[in-house]
Structure 1
């Protein structure tokens, strides 16, 4: 009697190859989808943004033009209202968007105009330290890029909720200097929560700081906020509307940088010289586009599984048979 040799038959080997090929196709689809939705889409969208041009006089060098990014309302979730999955998703989106913008656009200075945290107005010391650590990870930047942060009502509380302790805690992390000058352009960073004008202790202190800045800049006290700005940029509104003050000074509300606010997040790009400025909005990826891409990929995976299970004819074979049918008729 001939010995029986264990091993795979041709049918088993063919089945193994089919399964391996299916696994390879499924892995490729999943990898390509994740790579596009979580990395490449930020480059594709932000690559379309460009710095606006300033009509700089010929006597001024191009080196005088300052490239500044303006963000607002990042609203990093805290320990009370922030679900861990929501925090993970939103912070990943902001981190990828910010790091991609830094790499592609190469700004010289970045301003974040308030509401950095969502629960800073009531967070405990430990929760505050955790939020600050996450902020530094998300918005890390090279040393040659300046990062300037302004307090918002969610960081230190609304007018009658804010306290000296909360303000000092915020200023301990972020530079409290109100005046920042670069390339001949002066930026005055104002705590707008303290501008209620009712004579409260913190309000009086904020007004005194602005008055001191006005003396440094040799401005007239009768002008808006004792200064003479060419442009006012503010946060907290989650939109990008423009208001023209009675003295002819435009105020532009910087849009939200967070996907939590149920809008298309964006930021402002500003090209600035000592005499002129130009602004442009840069949009970030639509969350609906990402979700639609994942749905299409899920549908493709389902089709591949059905074809492999012979519950659905192969699209290529079906198309080939259909083409042959039309040729013969």
Structure 2
């Protein structure tokens, strides 16, 4: 029996859908380091630590609508699964805003968000993972409370009651801070975060030869009451934040420019550099004073932040590199992405930006398929209609 185009075309369409989904869910990664970008590649070694970093998932849990549940969240799960199999990372880091409105949810609804997160990341639950709290998770300054932050922090491994964490994996030390609290004036959580920074600063200095004896003779800085840190820049841990640190310009790959869109309309800061106790919708970075003390206390090896929804790669005045992780959801922007960071044994860090398909492109593809199917059905039924009329 000879095959006609009406029987072959559906097979072609189904095969195209399978091939397209396979292609669309596979991330496209390219290095962003200046040396790598200019053609000097790096061959990864077995002892290197590969970390996938994502941000701003904006999950809704049980409140997810039809489009989110069966389209956006479905593809997000595919992105995680395909990234896991193709990139083979050793760890997953989520830099805040797991939820779209976690601060407004009851504990029951928050549990549904956590379950959705665990199902979405799929195979990554078998790897070490760490979640940084974001402003959508814990709320803005006017509603930021230690009790709510504490039960949210209990949902994820390695976070203390203030929403901070410190851990080490493959000889790489990480410190995550609740950057939301650093924007909140005299909020008690801010002081808890400062204590974490001071503790990590002391641990850092004690990790160097004779540093403990030196600490006895150092002056206590006035500012936040933190000790002066005489460890060289870049000697500290990898710093993880939701909000980027303050800086006057940003650098995207090999090109630097001032006046980042993410810095337009910043709130007016008081003399201490904080945003007060009110809302901070216009505040997009950690205040200058807090930024200065973080550099002084922690001497971070490299900084990873999020919140702006966009990727950027910036070098601060002391030579510290800060990479801002883009959003990995169509709920935040049309072209999602994430970061793959490789921590090398020589303390160098190789960063790759991984892009995912635009939502608009995926919608155009499926719309074209639907139009094609409808046209095929119409054409297939046209001869029968003509015969009836005759």
Q: TM-score, normalised by structure 1?
A: 0.77
Matched, 1:294 2:366: yes
The aligned counterpart of 1:92 is 74
Q: How far apart are the structure 2 equivalents of 1:167 and 1:186?
A: 24
**Counterpart of 1:49 in 2: which secondary structure?**
strand
What's the offset of the Cα at 1:217? 2.0
**Counterpart of 1:218 in 2: which secondary structure?**
helix
Q: Is the 8 A contact 1:183 1:273 kept in 2?
A: no
Matched, 1:180 2:167: yes
What's the offset of the Cα at 1:126? 1.5
The aligned counterpart of 1:35 is 18
Superposed CA offset, 1:34-86 (max 9, x none): 4244x31235x42x43678999xxxxx93331111110000002556x43333
Q: How far apart are the structure 1 equivalents of 2:119 and 2:56?
A: 17
Q: What 5-or-longer segments of structure 1 have no aligned partner?
A: 1-16, 56-60, 312-329
Higher share in helix: 1
Q: How far apart are the structure 2 equivalents of 1:159 and 1:221?
A: 29
What's the offset of the Cα at 1:306? 4.5
**Counterpart of 1:270 in 2: which secondary structure?**
strand
**Counterpart of 1:217 in 2: which secondary structure?**
helix
Q: How far apart are the structure 2 equivalents of 1:183 and 1:125?
A: 35
Q: Is the 8 A contact 2:327 2:333 kept in 1?
A: no
The aligned counterpart of 2:343 is 272
Larger radius of gyration: 1
Q: How far apart are the structure 2 equivalents of 1:64 and 1:180?
A: 18
**Counterpart of 1:69 in 2: which secondary structure?**
strand
The aligned counterpart of 1:74 is 57
Find 1:285's aligned residue among 346, 351, 357.
Answer: 357
Q: State how many pairs are aligned.
A: 285
**Counterpart of 2:102 in 1: which secondary structure?**
coil
Superposed CA offset, 1:136-190 (max 9, x none): 1111225652111100010111123221122111221102161121222211111
Matched, 1:62 2:45: yes
The aligned counterpart of 1:324 is none
Q: How far apart are the structure 2 equivalents of 1:95 and 1:49?
A: 18
> 1:63–1:236: structure 2 CA closer, same or farther, 3 Å change rule?
same
> 1:287–1:143: structure 2 CA closer, same or farther, 3 Å change rule?
closer
Q: Is the 8 A contact 2:141 2:184 kept in 1?
A: no
Q: How far apart are the structure 1 equivalents of 2:313 and 2:83?
A: 24
Matched, 1:196 2:183: yes
Q: How far apart are the structure 1 equivalents of 2:46 and 2:68?
A: 42
Matches within 5 A, 1:7-46: 24-25=7-8, 27-37=10-20, 39-43=21-25, 45-46=26-27
RMSD, aligned α-carbons: 2.9
The aligned counterpart of 2:89 is 107
**Counterpart of 2:144 in 1: which secondary structure?**
coil
**Counterpart of 1:87 in 2: which secondary structure?**
helix
The aligned counterpart of 1:116 is 98
Bigger shift: 250-259 or 222-231?
222-231
